[in-house]
Structure 1
Amino acid sequence: MYVSNVKDIKSTTVNAPGVKNALKQVLIGPEQGWEGWVMRHFTLGASGNSPKHSHPWPHINYIVSGEGILFLDGNEHNLGPGSVAYVPGGTEHQFRNNGTADFAFICIVPEEGDV
Protein backbone atom coordinates (compact mmCIF):
# COMPACT_ATOMS: atom_id res chain seq x y z
CA MET A 1 0.00 0.00 0.00
CA TYR A 2 1.17 3.54 -0.77
CA VAL A 3 -0.38 6.90 0.12
CA SER A 4 1.17 10.33 -0.40
CA ASN A 5 0.44 13.84 -1.67
CA VAL A 6 1.84 15.46 -4.79
CA LYS A 7 3.12 18.33 -2.60
CA ASP A 8 5.36 15.83 -0.76
CA ILE A 9 6.87 14.13 -3.83
CA LYS A 10 10.29 15.24 -5.11
CA SER A 11 10.27 17.16 -8.35
CA THR A 12 13.11 17.02 -10.87
CA THR A 13 13.93 19.33 -13.75
CA VAL A 14 13.58 17.61 -17.12
CA ASN A 15 16.82 18.09 -19.04
CA ALA A 16 16.49 16.64 -22.51
CA PRO A 17 16.82 17.98 -26.05
CA GLY A 18 13.76 20.02 -27.04
CA VAL A 19 12.42 20.37 -23.46
CA LYS A 20 11.81 23.81 -22.01
CA ASN A 21 10.78 24.80 -18.46
CA ALA A 22 9.54 21.35 -17.38
CA LEU A 23 9.39 19.56 -14.03
CA LYS A 24 8.59 15.88 -13.42
CA GLN A 25 7.37 13.96 -10.39
CA VAL A 26 6.98 10.19 -10.28
CA LEU A 27 3.75 9.72 -8.32
CA ILE A 28 3.32 5.95 -8.44
CA GLY A 29 5.38 3.25 -10.13
CA PRO A 30 7.25 0.03 -9.42
CA GLU A 31 9.01 1.60 -6.43
CA GLN A 32 5.60 2.13 -4.81
CA GLY A 33 4.32 -1.32 -5.83
CA TRP A 34 2.70 -0.68 -9.24
CA GLU A 35 4.67 -3.10 -11.40
CA GLY A 36 4.82 -2.42 -15.12
CA TRP A 37 3.37 1.12 -15.05
CA VAL A 38 4.35 4.62 -13.96
CA MET A 39 2.12 7.60 -13.19
CA ARG A 40 3.99 10.87 -13.51
CA HIS A 41 3.01 14.50 -12.91
CA PHE A 42 4.53 17.05 -15.29
CA THR A 43 4.48 20.80 -14.83
CA LEU A 44 5.30 23.04 -17.77
CA GLY A 45 6.02 26.60 -16.70
CA ALA A 46 5.30 29.67 -18.84
CA SER A 47 6.41 29.00 -22.45
CA GLY A 48 7.38 25.45 -21.42
CA ASN A 49 7.11 22.40 -23.64
CA SER A 50 7.97 18.76 -24.03
CA PRO A 51 9.98 17.80 -27.12
CA LYS A 52 8.17 16.98 -30.36
CA HIS A 53 8.80 13.23 -30.43
CA SER A 54 7.40 9.72 -30.76
CA HIS A 55 8.15 6.41 -29.05
CA PRO A 56 6.80 2.85 -29.21
CA TRP A 57 4.74 3.01 -25.99
CA PRO A 58 1.37 4.71 -25.51
CA HIS A 59 0.50 7.13 -22.76
CA ILE A 60 -2.63 8.34 -21.05
CA ASN A 61 -2.94 11.96 -19.93
CA TYR A 62 -5.19 13.94 -17.60
CA ILE A 63 -4.86 17.72 -17.40
CA VAL A 64 -4.76 18.97 -13.81
CA SER A 65 -4.36 22.74 -14.26
CA GLY A 66 -3.49 25.50 -16.69
CA GLU A 67 -4.01 25.81 -20.42
CA GLY A 68 -1.97 24.07 -23.07
CA ILE A 69 -1.83 22.50 -26.49
CA LEU A 70 -1.25 18.89 -27.44
CA PHE A 71 0.31 18.56 -30.85
CA LEU A 72 -0.74 15.05 -31.88
CA ASP A 73 -0.04 13.50 -35.27
CA GLY A 74 -0.15 16.82 -37.13
CA ASN A 75 -3.12 18.38 -35.29
CA GLU A 76 -3.26 20.81 -32.37
CA HIS A 77 -5.72 20.22 -29.51
CA ASN A 78 -6.48 22.84 -26.85
CA LEU A 79 -6.35 21.39 -23.35
CA GLY A 80 -7.48 22.63 -19.96
CA PRO A 81 -8.36 21.23 -16.54
CA GLY A 82 -10.30 17.99 -16.91
CA SER A 83 -9.13 17.30 -20.48
CA VAL A 84 -7.98 13.76 -21.21
CA ALA A 85 -5.87 12.37 -24.04
CA TYR A 86 -4.64 8.99 -25.24
CA VAL A 87 -1.44 9.09 -27.29
CA PRO A 88 -0.91 5.82 -29.16
CA GLY A 89 2.60 4.42 -29.46
CA GLY A 90 4.48 5.57 -32.55
CA THR A 91 2.53 8.86 -32.79
CA GLU A 92 4.40 12.16 -32.96
CA HIS A 93 3.32 14.46 -30.13
CA GLN A 94 4.26 17.47 -28.00
CA PHE A 95 2.72 19.27 -25.01
CA ARG A 96 3.07 23.07 -24.87
CA ASN A 97 2.03 25.62 -22.28
CA ASN A 98 0.21 28.43 -24.07
CA GLY A 99 -0.69 30.40 -20.94
CA THR A 100 1.13 32.32 -18.24
CA ALA A 101 0.22 29.95 -15.37
CA ASP A 102 1.74 26.49 -14.92
CA PHE A 103 0.29 23.78 -17.19
CA ALA A 104 0.21 20.53 -15.19
CA PHE A 105 -0.82 17.06 -16.27
CA ILE A 106 -0.72 13.41 -15.28
CA CYS A 107 0.98 11.03 -17.71
CA ILE A 108 0.72 7.24 -17.32
CA VAL A 109 3.14 5.07 -19.30
CA PRO A 110 4.38 1.49 -19.26
CA GLU A 111 7.48 1.17 -17.09
CA GLU A 112 9.84 1.18 -20.10
CA GLY A 113 8.44 4.61 -21.05
CA ASP A 114 9.61 6.30 -17.87
CA VAL A 115 12.92 7.55 -19.22
Structure 2
Amino acid sequence: MFINHVNNIEKITMNAPGVNGATKQTLIGPAQGWEGWVMRQFSLAGGGHTPRHSHPWPHINYVLSGKGVLFLGGQEHTLEPGSVAYVPGDVEHQFMNKEEQELSFICIVPEEGDK
Protein backbone atom coordinates (compact mmCIF):
# COMPACT_ATOMS: atom_id res chain seq x y z
CA MET A 1 0.00 0.00 0.00
CA PHE A 2 1.11 3.54 -0.67
CA ILE A 3 -0.45 6.85 0.32
CA ASN A 4 1.13 10.25 -0.13
CA HIS A 5 0.33 13.77 -1.36
CA VAL A 6 1.65 15.37 -4.53
CA ASN A 7 3.05 18.27 -2.50
CA ASN A 8 5.39 15.82 -0.73
CA ILE A 9 6.79 14.26 -3.93
CA GLU A 10 9.99 15.66 -5.40
CA LYS A 11 9.70 17.76 -8.56
CA ILE A 12 12.52 17.03 -10.97
CA THR A 13 13.42 19.69 -13.53
CA MET A 14 13.57 18.10 -16.96
CA ASN A 15 16.84 18.81 -18.77
CA ALA A 16 16.80 17.22 -22.21
CA PRO A 17 17.00 18.50 -25.78
CA GLY A 18 13.72 20.15 -26.80
CA VAL A 19 12.41 20.56 -23.24
CA ASN A 20 11.61 23.97 -21.79
CA GLY A 21 10.09 24.82 -18.41
CA ALA A 22 9.05 21.26 -17.51
CA THR A 23 9.09 19.39 -14.23
CA LYS A 24 8.21 15.76 -13.49
CA GLN A 25 6.99 14.02 -10.37
CA THR A 26 6.86 10.23 -10.21
CA LEU A 27 3.66 9.68 -8.24
CA ILE A 28 3.23 5.91 -8.29
CA GLY A 29 5.28 3.16 -9.91
CA PRO A 30 7.15 -0.03 -9.12
CA ALA A 31 8.86 1.55 -6.08
CA GLN A 32 5.40 2.08 -4.58
CA GLY A 33 4.12 -1.38 -5.55
CA TRP A 34 2.59 -0.77 -9.01
CA GLU A 35 4.62 -3.20 -11.08
CA GLY A 36 4.82 -2.58 -14.81
CA TRP A 37 3.34 0.96 -14.81
CA VAL A 38 4.25 4.48 -13.76
CA MET A 39 1.97 7.44 -13.07
CA ARG A 40 3.75 10.78 -13.36
CA GLN A 41 2.66 14.40 -13.08
CA PHE A 42 4.22 16.86 -15.49
CA SER A 43 4.02 20.62 -15.06
CA LEU A 44 4.84 23.06 -17.83
CA ALA A 45 5.54 26.70 -16.97
CA GLY A 46 4.13 29.43 -19.19
CA GLY A 47 5.69 28.95 -22.63
CA GLY A 48 7.04 25.54 -21.60
CA HIS A 49 6.94 22.38 -23.67
CA THR A 50 8.07 18.81 -23.95
CA PRO A 51 10.19 17.79 -26.94
CA ARG A 52 8.45 16.77 -30.16
CA HIS A 53 9.19 13.05 -30.12
CA SER A 54 7.91 9.50 -30.47
CA HIS A 55 8.65 6.23 -28.69
CA PRO A 56 7.39 2.64 -28.90
CA TRP A 57 5.17 2.71 -25.80
CA PRO A 58 1.73 4.34 -25.48
CA HIS A 59 0.64 6.67 -22.72
CA ILE A 60 -2.57 8.10 -21.36
CA ASN A 61 -2.96 11.64 -20.08
CA TYR A 62 -5.36 13.62 -17.92
CA VAL A 63 -5.11 17.42 -17.64
CA LEU A 64 -5.34 18.69 -14.07
CA SER A 65 -4.95 22.45 -14.51
CA GLY A 66 -4.07 25.13 -17.00
CA LYS A 67 -4.57 25.21 -20.75
CA GLY A 68 -2.31 23.95 -23.49
CA VAL A 69 -1.92 22.15 -26.76
CA LEU A 70 -1.12 18.55 -27.61
CA PHE A 71 0.53 18.08 -30.98
CA LEU A 72 -0.43 14.52 -31.93
CA GLY A 73 -0.18 12.83 -35.29
CA GLY A 74 0.37 16.08 -37.18
CA GLN A 75 -2.50 18.05 -35.57
CA GLU A 76 -2.77 20.41 -32.61
CA HIS A 77 -5.47 19.69 -30.04
CA THR A 78 -6.56 22.14 -27.32
CA LEU A 79 -6.18 20.93 -23.74
CA GLU A 80 -7.95 22.20 -20.61
CA PRO A 81 -8.72 20.77 -17.17
CA GLY A 82 -10.55 17.49 -17.63
CA SER A 83 -9.10 16.79 -21.10
CA VAL A 84 -7.97 13.21 -21.65
CA ALA A 85 -5.72 11.80 -24.35
CA TYR A 86 -4.42 8.45 -25.51
CA VAL A 87 -1.07 8.68 -27.32
CA PRO A 88 -0.33 5.45 -29.21
CA GLY A 89 3.21 4.15 -29.45
CA ASP A 90 5.36 5.43 -32.32
CA VAL A 91 3.20 8.53 -32.92
CA GLU A 92 4.96 11.90 -32.85
CA HIS A 93 3.65 14.14 -30.06
CA GLN A 94 4.43 17.22 -27.95
CA PHE A 95 2.76 19.00 -25.04
CA MET A 96 2.91 22.81 -25.14
CA ASN A 97 1.80 25.53 -22.76
CA LYS A 98 1.02 28.64 -24.78
CA GLU A 99 -0.48 30.44 -21.75
CA GLU A 100 1.08 32.12 -18.70
CA GLN A 101 -0.57 29.85 -16.12
CA GLU A 102 1.13 26.51 -15.40
CA LEU A 103 -0.19 23.45 -17.27
CA SER A 104 -0.23 20.24 -15.20
CA PHE A 105 -1.19 16.79 -16.39
CA ILE A 106 -1.02 13.15 -15.39
CA CYS A 107 0.86 10.79 -17.71
CA ILE A 108 0.68 7.01 -17.26
CA VAL A 109 3.18 4.84 -19.15
CA PRO A 110 4.46 1.28 -19.03
CA GLU A 111 7.50 1.01 -16.77
CA GLU A 112 9.85 0.99 -19.78
CA GLY A 113 8.65 4.51 -20.63
CA ASP A 114 9.95 6.02 -17.41
CA LYS A 115 13.64 5.19 -17.70
| Fold shared by both chains (TM-score > 0.5) | yes
- Partner of 2:40, secondary structure, is strand
Alignment of 1:25-44 (within 5 A): 25-44=25-44
Query: What is the letter of the counterpart of residue 74 of structure 1?
Result: G
Q: Is 2:64 the partner of 1:74? A: no
Cα distance in 1 between the residues matched to 2:65 and 2:96: 13
State the one-letter code of the partner of 2:25.
Q
Question: What letter corresponds to residue 29 of structure 1 in structure 2?
Answer: G
- 1:59 alignment counterpart: 59
Question: Structure 1 counterpart of 2:108, which letter?
Answer: I
Q: Give the alignment's Cα RMSD to 1 decimal.
A: 0.4
Q: Give the 5 Å matches for 1:4-23.
A: 4-23=4-23
Unaligned 5+ segments in structure 1 are: none
Amino acid at match of 2:63: I
What displacement does 1:103 show?
A: 0.2
Q: Aligned AA for 1:101?
A: Q
Following TM superposition, by how much is the alpha carbon of 1:98 offset from its aligned partner in structure 2, in angstroms?
1.3
Deviation at 1:55, TM superposition (A): 0.2
> What amino acid sits opposite 1:2 in the alignment?
F
Counterpart Cα distance in 1 of 2:103 and 2:81: 9
TM-score of the superposed pair, with normalisation by structure 2: 0.99
SS at match of 1:31: helix
CA distance in 1, matches of 2:104, 2:11: 13
Task: Please state whether the residue corresponding to 1:64 is helix, strand or coil.
Answer: strand
Find the counterpart in structure 1 of residue 110 from structure 2. Answer: 110
SS of the residue 1:113 aligns to: helix
- For structure 2, the 5+ residue unaligned runs are none
- TM-score by structure 1 length? 0.99
> Counterpart of 1:31 in structure 2: which amino acid?
A
